Structure 1
Amino acid sequence: MIITFITAPILGRLLHPSDFGLIATSAPIIGFVTMIQNLGLTQAIIQRRTITKGQTNTLFWLSLLLSLTFATGLFVLAPSLARYFQEPRLIAVIWVGAALTVVSVIGEQPMALLTRNLRFRLLAVIDIIGIIVGAALGVAIAWYTRSYWALLVPLACTRFLNLIVAAFAARWFPGRPVWDEAARQMIGFGAGLSMFNILNFLARSADNLMIAKAHGSVALGFYDRAYRLMLLPLTQATWPLSRIMTPILSRLQGDPEEYRITYISSVSLLMLAVQPGLLCAVIYSDATVALLLGSKWAEAAPMFACLGFAGLHQTFTSTTGWLFISQGRMRDLSIVGLVSSTSTIASFAVGLPWGPLGVAVSYVISDYALRLPFIWYMTGRAGYVGVGDIYRTVGPHACGLLMSASALVLIKASLHAPSLIELGGILAVTYAINSAILIMFRSKRRLILQVLKVACRSVMLHRTSRKGRF
């Protein structure tokens, strides 16, 4: 996250909004192929209690065959897609993206095995190295060329690094496939998950495609930066945690109470860490966008504020997938995907005549009015975490955000354009108010105290180990 906060304003100042719009136009196309070529089989490997090398070989060769087929299709369709969006540069971008999808699917299998074996420290090292090297190369290319290719370098660097390091670390190389009943069950599991991913991806990408076609790449560039800035704290926090939680929850299915406590504790800490900062950024959206992207991106501030309001509840809602996947509830997950994607795309269409800001406003209204209550109901109607657990978990955080928002609005009335130092102080106040409200609830107070005890114990053990070495 620190590296992203450093590179985002640099790239935002070196490149033109149309460059970001070009990559944002290609992202749904490349991302769709990247997603469906795997068929959810990596998650099937993680969720499965027992698995053999022959079964993993079967899933690998199936994924690779699909990847090569779809990549070939992208190479053929690239000129037609460029003509449709009236963007000749899109041809080369799609060709490069198609090649990266093949690299991606080869590296996913050993990464899934590392995740299954809970080798989180190694996975973190791989991620961090990929981010650092990719960011450095991306900024260097942007500095010397002012080219949109700088935005693809971090992705390519991560894909190749995952492939090389994970394959050797997992000590896995493809061999002869074995087709048995377990392999068929995993393919069925993956197909259900893939259906949800496809529906969710269509919903997440439809806004980019609609805006690109109706309002052009410049308007899309502003919208895409606002959307990605909103997603930044969510993805940086939830993606590493989801990599940990899915295999852990899968192994706790035999202990429902421990399963429930583990999930509730994890999402409570996630909301405590992310929501106050996102709330502060939303209320001070003008200052946030100017600080992170630069003054020429001021048009993205209202879109960011609107989308960030939806991000407040998505901090929790995005974690419900852990429950569906770890419990193997693929039918419920597919229903959630169908309803969510349909309503999301419809909201984009409603707001499109009013431009990118209209799309954002329409999306947020439908998100709170329809998708939030529906997802909560579907999540809690079965499994180990009920609807009541969800309300008891989220309720105290909602109270904390309401009190924090009231204080921030009062502060903003007297401080319209805060400096960087003042903005940091406001952020600290937001976390302090939110934490003070949460401590008033017994369950949250116990959780916070437990975390502090664990942190203190870890510090003491670290100091003791250092003295022992000396």
Structure 2
Amino acid sequence: MKIFLLNSKGSFIKVVNKNLFQSAIFGFNWMIISKATQFILQFLLLMVLARLLTANEFGLMGLALSIITITQVLSTMGIGPAIVRRKTIDDEFLQSAFFLSIVLNFFFAVLIYLLASTISVFFNMSHLEEILKALTSIFIIKSFGIVATFLLQRNMSFKILAFQNVFSYLGYALIGIIFAFAGYGVWSLVFAQIAQAIIFTLIAISVQKHKKTIYINKKLLKELFYFGGGFSLAKIFNQIALQGDNLVIGRSLGSDALGVYSRAYQIMVMPTNLFGEVIDKVLFPVLSKIQDENDKLRYWFVNSQALLILILSPIVAIFTIYTEAIVMVILGADWLDAVPPLQILTLGLFFRTLYKISDSMVRAKGAVYKRANIQLVYAIFVFAGAIIGQFWGLVGVSVGVTVAITINYILMMSLSLSLISTSWSEVFRSLLKPSLFLLANIIILSVSYSWLVKFPSILSIIFAGLVQIIMGIVIFRFYPSLFMSKESEYIAIKIKSKIFKR
């Protein structure tokens, strides 16, 4: 059965096979449940650890993770996305991918272990060497589960992926809290990261079976290196961009400043991790299955962005107006220095999240080298913005990073639109109504701020959330057409029906 909807020109198109559509809705529901659970755990964990650990300890771990995260991109070589995107896969392909993942991860584990001392001296942080050496174990642990994890994504086994995310993060939280209470300081975060990697990998390899024998096929390895090379170039530039501000702050402003900035940034990206990553994990396999059908791609691309704006609008409004209250609740009174950078970073929250849809589209179309060029530009702007901004402290760095995030969104959108033969005007028309919902949220919260701010921080946020919920229920119950197109409303109804059915 096919689903038919009107396109922008008023004619009917076959959007997608009903089974694929339902799989996407099913996957979205499971992944949003997973990420929402992880979001709550992350929120609670941050509240606890911010009161047990110092800014210096968070800064040390933040810098170590920046280095590990950047290197992990090279250690996977785009193997996972190649598995998801390839139209057909067989045992030979999977065995070659497994072999490549093992070799690369062991190589980079040894490399970082040997360079740990040099890196520690460069950043003038003596304890960084020991932390980096311990974290290299993550490369070896994860190497055994890369193929299995992406096979689950290819097969759209979102329920299993949801459990994998939740239980691995639960392990992280428990280990982190136990060791932090025991007085292990920054090592509580190190042990938590290793525990999360172990649980994540064990779930993948126990659920998704595949042959793990070593097999070398030069043709398949060449294919993996071609797609993986383009993907990895883009990913490495993207990770350099995402971690570049941390590297600059750690080198120039010190671990204390990095600890404050990293907590502000972590709060800002919570909605991105909750919704942006869900959209990406669900949308990428869907778009890959219809990669040659631009009419269908345009439908998913435009309506996914419209729905994401609707979902994010209440969060952005609260983050913008109740920044200090959020910091007080999550981090405590000792972290008020995080308020100014968080206020500025929130301005880029929409672009930071929405760009993931363009990223899914570009990967599905196979334009990995064009994507790499854009991510290189993004990385350059992040470094330039952070280096220039450091002279004005964390506020200056936050401004530079926000400008870079905005530029990256514009460039990735332009590339996506060219790949599916769509104009900016069509996107603007589809996003106009959802953007009005953001404006309505900001107006309502601004008007009620003078009254709500009189309450304790936690109560003011709760009351602000209740105001938004009531407004949302009234609007979408009686006047949904004010902020949603017919296509977006249809998808929203399907998602809601699946959630309540469950």
Asked if Structure 1 and Structure 2 have the same fold, meaning a TM-score greater than 0.5 normalized by the shorter chain, the answer is: yes
Residues 1:399 and 2:427 aligned together: no
In structure 2, distance between residues paired with 1:303 and 1:417: 24
Alignment CA distance shift 1:83-1:163 (3 Å): same
State which of 393, 398, 410 in structure 1 corresponds to 2:447. 410
Alignment CA distance shift 1:429-1:107 (3 Å): same
Aligned positions of 1:244-283 closer than 5 A: 244-283=282-321
Aligned positions of 1:287-298 closer than 5 A: 287-298=325-336
In structure 1, distance between residues paired with 2:250 and 2:136: 21
Specify the code of the residue in structure 2 equivalent to 1:399: L
Contact 1:379 1:387 in 2 (8 A): no
Aligned positions of 1:25-424 closer than 5 A: 25-179=63-217, 181-368=219-406, 370-383=407-420, 386-419=423-456, 420-424=458-462
In structure 2, distance between residues paired with 1:412 and 1:297: 22
Alignment CA distance shift 1:47-1:453 (3 Å): closer
**Cα deviation 1:232-256 (Å, max 9, x = unaligned):** 1111222233222211111122443
Contact 2:361 2:416 in 1 (8 A): yes
In structure 1, distance between residues paired with 2:47 and 2:110: 36
RMSD of aligned residue pairs (Cα, Å): 2.3
Shift of 1:425: 2.1
Contact 1:103 1:163 in 2 (8 A): yes
In structure 2, distance between residues paired with 1:126 and 1:446: 32
Q: Bigger shift: 240-249 or 205-214?
A: 240-249
Specify the code of the residue in structure 1 equivalent to 2:296: E
Contact 1:401 1:434 in 2 (8 A): no
Q: Bigger shift: 8-17 or 403-412?
A: 403-412
**Can you give the 5+ residue segments of structure 1 that lack an aligned partner in the other structure?**
463-470
Q: Bigger shift: 440-449 or 285-294?
A: 440-449
In structure 1, distance between residues paired with 2:491 and 2:251: 52
In structure 2, distance between residues paired with 1:167 and 1:400: 43
Contact 1:287 1:418 in 2 (8 A): no
**Cα deviation 1:338-389 (Å, max 9, x = unaligned):** 2222122111111111111110022224544x43433322221122654334
Residues 1:452 and 2:493 aligned together: yes
- Secondary structure in 2 aligned to 1:50? coil
- Secondary structure in 1 aligned to 2:420? coil
Contact 2:276 2:354 in 1 (8 A): no
In structure 2, distance between residues paired with 1:458 and 1:82: 49
- Secondary structure in 2 aligned to 1:219? helix
Specify the code of the residue in structure 2 equivalent to 1:353: F
Shift of 1:303: 0.7
Shift of 1:458: 6.0
- Secondary structure in 2 aligned to 1:286? helix
Structure 1 ranges of 4+ moved more than 6 A: none
Alignment CA distance shift 1:216-1:84 (3 Å): same
Shift of 1:43: 0.4
In structure 1, distance between residues paired with 2:317 and 2:259: 23
Q: Bigger shift: 102-111 or 433-442?
A: 433-442
In structure 1, distance between residues paired with 2:130 and 2:233: 29
Q: Bigger shift: 356-365 or 196-205?
A: 356-365
Contact 2:298 2:420 in 1 (8 A): no
**Cα deviation 1:228-284 (Å, max 9, x = unaligned):** 110111112222332222111111224433333233333333332223213212221
In structure 1, distance between residues paired with 2:441 and 2:331: 25
Shift of 1:441: 4.2
Q: What's 1:465 paired with?
A: none
Residues 1:16 and 2:54 aligned together: yes
In structure 1, distance between residues paired with 2:431 and 2:353: 10
Specify the code of the residue in structure 2 equivalent to 1:126: Q
Shift of 1:19: 0.6
Alignment CA distance shift 1:417-1:203 (3 Å): farther
Alignment CA distance shift 1:221-1:253 (3 Å): same
Alignment CA distance shift 1:75-1:416 (3 Å): same
TM-score by length of 2: 0.86
In structure 1, distance between residues paired with 2:376 and 2:198: 33
Specify the code of the residue in structure 1 equivalent to 2:228: G
Alignment CA distance shift 1:294-1:250 (3 Å): same
Contact 2:96 2:215 in 1 (8 A): yes
Contact 2:279 2:357 in 1 (8 A): no
Contact 1:138 1:153 in 2 (8 A): yes
In structure 1, distance between residues paired with 2:322 and 2:213: 55
Specify the code of the residue in structure 2 equivalent to 1:412: Y
**Cα deviation 1:185-215 (Å, max 9, x = unaligned):** 2321111111111111111112111111111
- Secondary structure in 2 aligned to 1:145? coil
Shift of 1:224: 0.5
- Secondary structure in 1 aligned to 2:210? coil
- Secondary structure in 2 aligned to 1:381? helix
Shift of 1:450: 4.9
Alignment CA distance shift 1:265-1:428 (3 Å): farther
In structure 2, distance between residues paired with 1:445 and 1:428: 27
Contact 1:34 1:104 in 2 (8 A): no
Specify the code of the residue in structure 2 equivalent to 1:316: L
Q: What's 2:11 paired with?
A: none
Specify the code of the residue in structure 1 equivalent to 2:93: Q
**Can you give the 5+ residue segments of structure 2 that lack an aligned partner in the other structure?**
1-38
Shift of 1:325: 0.7
Contact 1:57 1:176 in 2 (8 A): yes
